[in-house]
Each structure stands twice: as structure tokens, then as C-alpha cells.
Structure 1
Amino acid sequence: MKAVCMYFELHQPYRLKWFWPDHSEGFERYFDTAINREIFEKVADKCYLPATKTMLQLIEQYEGDFRFSISVTGTLLSQCKKWNPKVIELFQALADTGCVEFLDETNYHSLAGLFDDKSEFIEQVREHHKLISETLGAKPLFFRNTELLYNNSIAKTVSEMGYSGILIEGVDGLVDTPNYVYNSKNCDLKVLLRNYKMSDDIGYRFSARWWSEYPLTASKWADWATHQEGEILNIFMDYETFGEHQWTETGIFDFLRELPGEVLERNLTFQTPSEIIGKYDPVGEIDVKDLSTISWADIERDTSAWLGNDMQRRCFEEVKLLEPYVKKTGDKELIKIWKHLLTSDHYYYICTKWLGDGDVHSYFSIHTSPYEAAINFMAIINDFKSQVFKNLAAKDKNIYT
């Protein structure tokens, strides 16, 4: 019996403000509270609240046969706590059903996994694990990295942290088909690969009138699923697909409500990642060299969405180089700001790709162009750098000698 493994990612960053030095201090000096709250409340009303209520209804309706996995970044959870705790209550209700597996990731949806030294990456993952355990009562055993960034060294680190498996992108040419369980090279870590075509049929093409398969129905999609080669079908997408990326008017919620019944009627099952690797044996090995890091972003499915141009690389290197100095301050607020500057979204907004990928990069960005985003980010980095060294200088008068 073939299994459908559905996974949803939930994330909102703390967006940077249009920066000009003023008398504000700490986190509010760099991050725009008003715009962040406005975007959060819009997405909560359109997606987080109605989608989660629908998920809970479906779990009850199908008496636990509808099962899936989910990950929630620490940045989003902190926004929920401040601006709508009802969202967290619904996440807690999902955890209480026993039908939803919560996954771990970097707490700040960051690019820390791309550091050569993985200590910051490990620190952020542990922070996320603690937050999910304390907030939702779940203790994740499975991992998904920011934007499904993956290479052999990331896999080795995740394995050494005790996780049983990891989600990655089913990049063309990596394996013959993503529809099986695989092993990671040189470590004890199971790998589940996203079937990007079947996932994107829902996440991206659902409301596309130019698409030859429009309109997509739950029945049609379930028929396709039954004809997929392999043992499992890994369907990974943004949770915001439901109500935000695909508006209610497109019929996406009707599709969601009908999907479990159509899938189950065809003798397919829903299973979580941990259930999948407990049932199916690996059929091969995944080998991704560090210089060939993969992701689920854009046509290239590599790191170019965040580090593809000189502006992105310069910003990333500047933030990365600040790590020892920021941590030497011991200042919790400065450390918090620095970790949030590693959030992948800031670099994503600086991407200079155009056409379809460019439209995706501009979504939720407050900037009118990637060049403005880069200039603003560098201005913030330079000001933040002065704050860090001012703090160090106050503690050690000889720091510049």
C-alpha cells in the first residue's frame, strides 16, 4: 500500500525596517514592528487560523487516518505569542491529536547550516527543539533544514544530533525517483525526498489558468498519486498555500477538505515521516558534496536564491564575520539581533533573478527592488557592527589596541 507523506512549513520572518539612525535601541532599532504585525495578522486571518481549524476537522472526520507533519519556525511562534495566541492554541490542538508530527529546524529559519563551523547551526536547532517542546508539548525526532538546504556535512551534523531522518528536495538527477526512502552518505540518517511535481501542482499551479490541467480537483490529484512509481509520495509545501498563496476564492480549501477522502478511497494511506522510515527500507544512498548544496528554491534548486550575487554574498559574509565579536559581548539583545540577521528571507529579497523566480522573491518583501534591499541591509549591518564594538569597547578599553 503506497503512503502519502504530507509536510507543511510555517514561517514568517522579522522584516527589517527602512533604516535611518535614530534614538531607538535594541531589536526595535532594526526590525519593523508595525509591518511585521500587519503581515502576520493578514496571513493569520487568511491562512493560519482557517487552515488549522480545517486540518483539525479533517483529523476528527477521518478518525486519525489523515496524518501529516509540520514545522513552525521560532520567529513565527514568537509573533503568534505577541499578536495572536489563538494560533498557538490551534497548533497545540494539532499536537494533542497524535496525528501530526512536528519537525525540528533552525529556530530563526537561518542560513547557519552553510557555516563551515556548525556550532551556531547546532545551537539554533537545539533552541528550536526546546521551544517546540515547551510550547507545543512535542519532541521532534525528524529534521528539515531551512529551505531544505542539504549537503553531506549538514546530514552528518543532523545525524550526530540524534535525529532519525531529514527532508530534502527531490532534485532531478539525484536519484531515479524520489518515491522511496534513502540513506544519507556516511552517516546514519534516513532521507525523504520531495516529489516537487506533485507538490507544486498544489502549491504553485493550483489556480494557474494557463495550466493544461486547470482546474485541479482532489479526485484528479489522487488519481495521479495512485499511478506514481514507488512506495511513498512526499508532498512538501508552504502552509501558506492554503488561503495566502492560493486565496480562498480559488477553491483551495474545498480541495483540502476533499483530498483525504479521495486519497483514502484509492487504498492509499497518510503517514508521517517517522512512520514512513519505520515501515519502508532504504533503497539507495544520497550523496551531495558540500560545494553542491541543494535546496527547494527556484529552478536551480541550489543556494543561488540567497547567495547567487555579490550583494548577497557580501551581506552574508559581513554577518558571519561578526559572530565571535557578537558572542563575546555576552549581550542577549545583540546576540538575538545577530541571529535574526541570519534569517534567510533577508538574503532572498536581495536576489536579482527575474521572471517567475523574481516574482516569488519579491513576495512579502517591503523593498521595491533587490538593490534597495541590499543597500538597506548593509546600512543595518554597519550600524549594528558599531553597536557591537561600542559594547566591547565599554568592557575592554584596550580592544582596539
Structure 2
Amino acid sequence: MKTICLYFEIHQIIHLKRYRFFDIGTDHYYYDDYENEYGIADIAERSYMPALGTLLEMIKANGDYFKVAFSLSGVGMEQLEMHAPQVLEKLQELNDTGCVEFLAEPYSHGLSSLVNEESFAKEVKRQCAKMKEYFGHSPKVFRNSSLIYSDDIGLQVSQMGFKGMLTEGAKHVLGWKSPHYVYSSAMAPNLKLLLRDIKLSDDISLRFNNSEWDGYPLFADNYIREIASLPQEEQVINIFMELSALGIAQPLSSNILEFFKALPACAKEKGITFSTPTELCMKMKPVDRLDVPDTLSWVDEERDVSTWLGNPMQREAFNKLYSVADRVRIADDPRINQDWDYLQASNNFRFMTTKPSNIVLDRGIYSSPFDAFTNYMNILGDFINRVNNLYPADIDNDELAGLLTTIKNQGDELEMKEKEIIRLQAKIEKIEEATKKDTKKKRPGMGKKKTTVKKEKP
């Protein structure tokens, strides 16, 4: 029996402000607050709220037959907390239905998986904690930024304890194989891989409203009929996209939400079900191992990481940022950590791309890739100075780690001693109280008023 795994990504770009070379050392705030507030409010109104409302209606109308999965970056959730908390409330309402799964991903929506295992692991742990805080469950399936995957990344994700991982069904990786099966990671056989069907996903997220597309207009019954016509043994249909596809990439006027509403009924007629990623990982056995020695993603025709690291500017910015990754992680300063999250976000590097693309890239305040590079490097220069000034720059990472470990151990020891003092004080008070009670028992007359009998004179 065929089953559809429907997944949506929710992430929000953090817009950097115009930052000049002469601002370095004098201005440590890097963000365009107006653009960030406006951007998240706009996408919440035009996409997230109507889309989530529609998905909730679909669950209520179809019971546990219809299911869907989401992943949210930590920085995206921070923006929602500040500027659009109603989106998180709607997601919690969806979570209460029991038909929704929330996945893990890097907190920053960054590229740490490509360069620094410790930073990557820490990010994932923080995002999982935030998902547990909001939705009451720790994610069991992982989704990397832009579906980035390789054999090495799969091994680390498996070592973190995840059961499965989402990635791209890229032709140069699959060859003659189909994306409609569950596979296992080459270096971690226990990690199951769910591969995105590129055509079926992009038919909705990229082409739905394109009147020049030969599949236009796309109706739910035709879409499901195409899925049903796949070979009988190809049972897993993974349709992955950004949630903003519903309302932004494909405007609401295109009837995109009406298309989604019709999917469950059409699927049920063809005997097609809906499943969450964890359900697929628990029920389905992998048919083969998938070898991915070179990193892949879901971006551009090449399906690789060249959109972020394809030119010398991008690589220079990337290498300079992660040159302080260990110091940031070791120092663990709250203000530095927040800037670190925002500066890691993959869009900062994508704005610097010089690759031609069929998808229009909105660079925001930047007039060119070089403009984006210059602005980012100015900010990065100030940030790195702050990191180095946090502790003496002549202390290497090993010394710094040892120093901070000593400080932490001393703090833990003081905390333990304080707790021991409090415990002993309570014990002393208890003993003193017991002693007073024993004294009263031994002298029962103590504290009572004596009665004197006055004798009368004869």
C-alpha cells in the first residue's frame, strides 16, 4: 500500500543591517529590526496562519488518516516568539491532534555539519530541547539545513541517537534507483533515509501557479492519480517543501490551499495513506544502503553545497566564521551565542552566490554578491574581535578549555558546599527542636502556674 509522507520546513531569515567598516569596534548590534519584524509578520499573515489553519481543518475532517510533519529552526522559533506567537500557538494546537510530528534540525539553520562536529551536535541538542519545551516530545528523526547529507553526516546523526533522516532524492546519487523506498546510511546501517521526490514536491512548491507549465492547472485528483500509477512496489512517496510555498511562492489566489484540502479524499479513493517520518522508519525496512560520499542538498540543479560555498568569497567568509567555532563553544557566552546563531544561518552565504539559478534570489539590502560579502565580513570582523576579547587572545583553545573547566568545577564545588551547609543547618535546627521537646517531657511541671492555698487563721 502506498503512503505519502508530507513534510514542511519553517525557518525565518535574520536580516543583517548595513554595517560599515568604521562601525567595527563601536557597534555590536548587527540586525535590521524593522525588516525582521515586518518579514515575519508578513509571512505569518500571508502563509503560515492560513496554511496551518488549513492543515488543522484537514486533520479534523479526516481524523488520524491525514498526518503531516514539520521542522522549525531555533532562530526561526525565536522570531516567531517575538513577532508572531500565534503561529507557535497554532502549531501547538496541531500537535494536540496527535497527527503531527516535529523533527530535529540545526538550531541556526546553518552549515556546521560540514565543518565542526562539536558545534553541530550542540546545535542539534539545543533545537531538540526547544522542541521538547513547546511540543512535549523529543524528535526521533533528523532533517539537516536544506536537506544537506553525506555519509559522514549520516554517521554523526546516527550517533546522536536518531532513527532516521530526511534528504534529497538526487539523481546523481540514486542513479537507476527510485526515491520511493526507505534506504539506510552507508556508514550507519541503523539510520534510515527518506528521500524527497523532487518532481512531485516541486510540482507544488515551484510550478503550481505557473501557467506556462505543461502540467498547469494541477488538480488534486490528477496529482494523486500520478502517485497511484507508480509501480506497485514503490510505496513511499516523500513530498517535502517549505511551508512558505503555501501563500508566498504559490499565492493563496492560486487556490493552493483548496488543492491541499482535496488531497486526503482523493488519496483515500486510491487506497493511499499518509504517514509521519517516524512511522516510516519504524515500519519500513530499508531495501539497500545509499552511498553518498559527496555532500548533497535540495538546492539548485546540482543538488550540492555550491550555492553556499561555490566561490572564493563564500569560502573565505565560511572559513573565517568557523575559525572561532571552538572558542565560541568553549566560552559559552549568551550574547556571543546568539550572534553566533544568526551569523551561521545559511542565507548569509547564499546572498554571496554568483551561480545562475532558475529561482529568483532576493538579496534584500545587497546590490550584488560582493556587496553581501563586504557587509558580512565587516560584521564578522567585529564579532571575532569580541570573541577574542572575551578571553585573552594568546590563550589557545586547549588552555581556554582547561581554564573554563577549572572555573566550572570550582563553581560546582562551591554550589555543593552551599547545599551541604543548608542541609547541616536544617539538621541542627531539627536537633535543637527535638532537644527542647525532650526537656519539656522530663520536667512536666515546667511552665505551669503554681496554685497557693491560703490557710485561714483560727
TM-score normalised to the size of structure 1?
0.93
Per-residue deviation, residues 112-143 of structure 1 (Å, max 9, x unmatched): 0001x411100000000000000222321001
1:184 matches 2:188 = no
Cα distance in 2, alignment partners of residues 387 and 135 from structure 1: 32
Q: Does 1:286 align with 2:290?
A: yes
* Aligned residue in 2 for 1:33: 33
Per-residue deviation, residues 372-392 of structure 1 (Å, max 9, x unmatched): 111111111112222222333
Q: Is the CA contact 2:8–2:241 (under 8 Å) kept in the aligned structure 1?
A: yes
**1:105-254 correspondence to structure 2 within 5 Å:** 105-115=105-115, 117-175=116-174, 176-187=177-188, 188-229=190-231, 230-254=234-258
Task: Please say if residues 185 and 287 of structure 1, whose CA atoms lie closer than 8 Å, have aligned partners that are also in contact.
Answer: yes
Superposed CA offset, 1:11-31 (max 9, x none): 0021211113189755xx112
Query: What SS does the corresponding residue of 1:6 show, helix, strand or coil?
Result: strand
Please list the CA deviations of residues 93-125 of structure 1 after superposition, one character each: whole Å capped at 9, or x if unmatched: 11111101100000110100001x411100000
TM-superposition CA deviations, 1:39-71 (whole Å, max 9, x none): 100000011111111111100001121101110
Aligned 8 A contact 1:5 1:233 in 2: yes
Separation (CA, whole Å) in 2 of partners of 1:385 and 1:370: 22
Separation in 2, partners of 1:42, 1:395: 46
The corresponding residue for 1:348 is 350
Letter in 2 for 1:304: S
Contact 1:14/1:31, CA 8 A, preserved across alignment? yes
SS at match of 2:6: strand
Report if aligned partners of 1:95, 1:137 keep a CA contact under 8 Å in 2: no
Report the 3-state secondary structure (helix = DSSP H, G, I; strand = E; otherwise coil) of the residue aligned with 1:206: coil
Aligned to 2:56: 56
Partner amino acid for 2:62?
Y
Paired letter, 1:19: Y
Letter of the aligned partner of 1:326 in structure 2? V
Change (3 A) 1:316 1:212: same
**Alpha-carbon contact 2:152-2:187 (below 8 Å) kept:** no
**Other-structure match for 1:323:** 325
Say which SS state the counterpart of residue 182 (structure 1) adopts.
strand
> Which secondary structure state, in structure 1, belongs to the residue aligned with residue 179 of structure 2?
coil
Q: Measure, in 2, the Cα distance between the counterparts of 1:348 and 1:213.
A: 30
Matched, 1:259 2:263: yes
What does residue 65 of structure 2 align with?
65
Residue in 1 aligned with 2:8?
Answer: 8
Q: 1:22 to 1:371 in 2, by over 3 A?
A: closer
Q: Where does 1:374-385 land on structure 2 (aligned, <5 Å)?
A: 374-385=373-384
Displacement of 1:363 in angstroms is 3.0
Given that residues 151 and 293 in structure 1 are in contact (C-alpha distance below 8 angstroms), is that contact kept between their aligned partners in structure 2?
yes
Write the distance in 2 (CA, Å) between the matches of 1:18 and 1:262: 50
Return the letter of the residue paired with 2:53. Answer: K
Confirm or deny: 8 A CA contact 1:206 1:246 kept in the other structure.
yes
CA deviation digits over 1:354-375, x for unaligned, max 9? 2414x1xx23633222221111
Structure 1, unaligned runs of 5 or more:
none
1:310 paired with 2:312, answer: yes
Structure 1 position 90, deviation (Å): 0.5
CA distance in 2, matches of 1:171, 1:125: 25
Q: Indicate the residue corresponding to 2:274 in structure 1.
A: 270
Which structure has the larger Rg? 2
2-side partners of 1:40 and 1:23: how far apart?
Answer: 30
Q: Aligned to 2:9, what secondary structure does the other structure show? A: strand
1:72-104 deviation per Cα after TM superposition (whole angstroms, max 9, x unaligned): 111111111111211111111111111011000
Aligned to 2:422: none
Conservation of the 8 A alpha-carbon contact between 2:300 and 2:357: no
CA spacing shift, 1:122–1:205, aligned 2, 3 Å: same
CA shift at 1:393, angstroms?
4.1
Q: Is the 8 A contact 2:142 2:165 kept in 1?
A: yes
Provide Cα deviations, 1:154-209, integer angstroms capped at 9, x if missing partner. 10111011100000100104231000011111211001100001110001010111
Task: Give the letter aligned to residue 58 of structure 2.
Answer: L
Deviations 1:258-295 (A, max 9, x none): 12211122110001111112222111111111xx1000
Q: Aligned Cα RMSD in Å?
A: 1.8
Query: SS at 1:64's partner residue?
Result: helix
**One-letter code of the match for 1:306?**
W
Q: Does the residue aligned with 1:129 lie in a helix, a strand or coil? A: helix
For structure 1, which segment, 125-134 or 249-258, has the greater mean C-alpha deviation from structure 2 after superposition? 249-258
C-alpha distance in 1 between matches for 2:125 and 2:365: 31
